[in-house]
Amino acid sequence: MQHSLNNIKPRYEYVSSAKLPTLFGLFNIHGFFDTTENQEHVVLTHGQWDANDIVPIRIHSECLTGDSLFSTKCDCGFQLEKALQNIADHGFGAILYLRQEGRGIGLLNKIKAYHLQDQGFDTVEANEHLGFDADLRDYNICKTMLDTLDIVNVELMTNNPKKLRALEDLGINVVTRRAIDHGVTKDNKGYLKVKTNKLGHTFNLDKLK
């Protein structure tokens, strides 16, 4: 039996959009669905842009503890707030918020990793001790998100070169990268050092002295 290619369901689907007033101004929230992983993701956008504009974006992986529970163990919540403020100040931009807790290992495994960190493991060692790679995140859905929102040229707010390479591999024109150093605390200095020394993040270690 022959099957039409037109009947093949795409892996990533746009679902719906709505207004989302925030402390940083009026944003819109756009829902996307990964049909393979059965996972929901969102994009927050602010303002309008033309096809040739360079749009500031951040790819932000979900961090319940940092984004919502105000943990100072990481810099995730600080970076999310900084990115939202940067976009509000610029007048337009987007946050691609991916549901990839704990660099892709999930919330409960992340708590297990935290327990190992309490015993002296660093963040990479803890993930590997649990049987995971140091970073399992997948950025392929970003292409669908950006295409749906008519974003062609981006300024990527990140300290992680892996995100930049991932977008370039997807054919997205990353015009420039903008560092987003923010939120050093007494609790996350070791975490930031590990991200820099083991995961290649471009963080200024002088700030951790």
Instruction: Tell me what pLDDT residue 1 has.
Output: 38
61 has binding-site annotation: yes
pLDDT at 4 over 70: no
Options 122, 135, 165, 177, the catalytic residue: 135
Instruction: Examine the pLDDT at 6 and tell me if it is beyond 80.
Output: no
Instruction: Give me the half-sphere count of Cα atoms (radius 13 Å) on the Cβ side of residue 2.
Output: 3
Question: From the candidates 133, 137, 181, 187, which is the catalytic residue?
Answer: 137
- Reported as a pLDDT band with limits 50, 70 and 90, residue 3 is very low
pLDDT at 88: 98
Tell me the pLDDT tens digit for each residue of 67-122. 999 999 999 999 999 999 999 999 999 999 999 999 999 999 999 999 999 999 99
d(CA 56, CA 176): 9
pTM confidence score? 0.91
Q: Is 58 annotated as a binding residue?
A: yes
Question: Domains (ranges, CATH) in the chain?
Answer: 47-100+137-200 (3.40.50.10990)
**Is 101 part of any known ligand binding site?**
yes
| 34 flagged as catalytic | no
152 vs 94: CA distance, rounded Å: 12
Cα dihedral: 12, 14, 15, 17 (round 10):
150
Using one digit for the tens of pLDDT, what is the confidence trace for 11-20?
999 999 999 9
Establish whether 144 is an annotated binding residue: no
Q: Percentage of the chain surpassing pLDDT 70?
A: 93
76 carries a ligand binding annotation: yes
Query: Residue 11 catalytic?
Result: no
Which residue in 149, 162, 171, 140 sits closest to 11, CA to CA?
Answer: 140
The pairing of beta strand 153-157 with beta strand 25-34: unpaired
Residue 178 labeled ligand binder: no
Q: Which of 14, 17, 18 is nearest to 33 (CA)?
A: 14
Average pLDDT, the chain: 91
